[in-house]
Amino acid sequence: MIAKLAWRNIWFKPLNTLLSIILLASSVAIITVLILLQKQFEEKFSSNIDGVDLVLGAQGSPMQLILSSVYHIDNPTGNISNDSAKVWMNHPFIEKAIPLAFGDNYRGFKIVGTNSDYLEKYKAKIAKGKLFDKNFEVVVGSEVAQKLNLKVGDTFFGSHGDAAEGEVHDHYAYKISGIASPTGTVIDNLILCNIPSVWQMHGTHEEDAENPEQSSTEPSRSEEDEHIHTEACNHDHAQHETDMTLNEPNMEITAVLLKFRNKMGIVMWPRIIAQNTKMQAASPAIEINRLFSLFGIGLKALEYLAYAIMLISGISIFIALYNRLKERKYEFALMRINGASRWQLLSLIMIESLILCFVGFLFGTIFGRFALGFISNSAEDDFKMTFNPIEIVWQKETMLLVATLIVGIIAALIPAIKAYQLNISKTLANA
């Protein structure tokens, strides 16, 4: 009965009630987004560096090297010599070395030259088809296949660089040999091929650009180029005598993901490689911790803003309840005459405040998840990273609910005490 009466009372002045709910819902929505964003952001970044102790790449920003080579959300620092990298890849300290070669994309999804170890690192299986075993055969990630409606046997031409609007390499066509299973990692948004495919794609393209009259001076080469172009257009990927292999000299790759047998190498190699080569070795753990610390500053600022809004909403609820108490003191006096106890009046004020806070919390969590869905769509377009808006972080969200209800209790405390101490005779005498 008291709860029903409290519900009717809070809608006696709907504009004041809506203002209080909107303020509280706004603060709860911001905090909900921060809770979900921080948890999922850290999980996604941490899961992608599992099994990677160091990343070997061109000199430059270590953070840029990690973001480009591990997460594929930045431009590479440059290329390194494959022959020089092999020296370190074959070192006794190394348990596993996964080379990566970038250069092209297909409709915004990066084409990465690598080997089967890359799929094993992310525990990706071949859901359909088979692994690439020839040049220009590719395995596409599950998200790529779904978004672009690709299937085994389809062919396509890549575009130069990371932008979908880049120059189209139409002298060789890629053929889909397999589709990877979903993993929840970066591999879901990549197109994988062997490294010689990347070399051959750019080697032939660059030679054609530098020697436009080669066909007139070397007839045998012209016939071979025409044969390759015809087969590409017909989407036939039979092995050619001119296909490159991993043994090609003087070639370049973009980076190498290293896993050590001896953990001393993780400490020693960055300094040794920087002093003795033109490469660098960056630690994903160190760089991601730096990123989290920078990311955390922004999150903390937003969190403080959200709690400030929650405080303002608490003040708004207090003012609404206090003003309502002054307007309803004669009503409360009549309730006392008709048998209502002091505690019932106190409970009525408290329940009104708690209902306001609970409704604000409910709408805030809903709005927060809609906001995270919008953020996820933007992140997916820009960084190929998605967030799950329907996930519930029970511990933190329960704490948020408790904090919201505490705000309601504190806001209602003074009006409730005033109602409890109401003097019936004095109130009715002044009526």
- Is 208 a residue whose pLDDT tops 50? no
199 near 137, Cβ under 8 Å? no
- The confidence band for 325, taking pLDDT boundaries of 50, 70 and 90, is confident
- The confidence band for 207, taking pLDDT boundaries of 50, 70 and 90, is very low
Tens of pLDDT along 66-81?
999 999 988 999 999 9
Residue 287, Cα to own-chain centre: how many angstroms? 17
Mean pLDDT of 228-249: 57
- Is 87 a residue whose pLDDT tops 90? yes
Between the alpha carbon of residue 320 and those of residues 6, 12, 353, 361, the distances in Å are 14, 11, 10, 18
Tens of pLDDT along 347-395?
888 998 999 999 999 999 999 999 999 998 888 777 778 889 999 999 9
- For residue 302, the model assigns a pLDDT of 84
Most confident of the following: 232-246, 376-390, 403-417: 403-417
Share of the chain above pLDDT 90, in %: 52
202 near 107, Cβ under 8 Å? no
Q: What is the pTM of this model?
A: 0.79
The DSSP code for 393 is: -
Query: 27-64: b or e for each residue (b if 16 or more CB lie within 10 Å)?
Result: bbbbbbbbbbbbebbeebbeebbebbbbbbbbeeebbb
Q: Which residues contact 17 (CB under 8 A, 6 or more apart)?
A: 10, 11, 320, 356
- Is 209 a residue whose pLDDT tops 50? no
d(CA 96, CA 50): 13
Tens of pLDDT along 255-277?
999 999 988 889 999 999 999 99
- Is 330 a residue whose pLDDT tops 80? no
The DSSP code for 18 is: H
Residue 309 has a CB neighbour count (10 Å cut-off) of 19
Q: Which helix (H) or strand (E) holds 48?
A: helix 14-48
Q: What angle do CA 391, 26, 318 make, to 5 degrees?
A: 125
What are the residues facing 159 on neighbouring strands? 105, 168
Mean pLDDT of 310-339: 83
- Is 221 a residue whose pLDDT tops 70? no
- Is 306 a residue whose pLDDT tops 70? yes
- For residue 227, the model assigns a pLDDT of 38
Q: Which helix (H) or strand (E) holds 165?
A: none
Q: What angle do CA 134, 137, 143 make, to 5 degrees?
A: 145
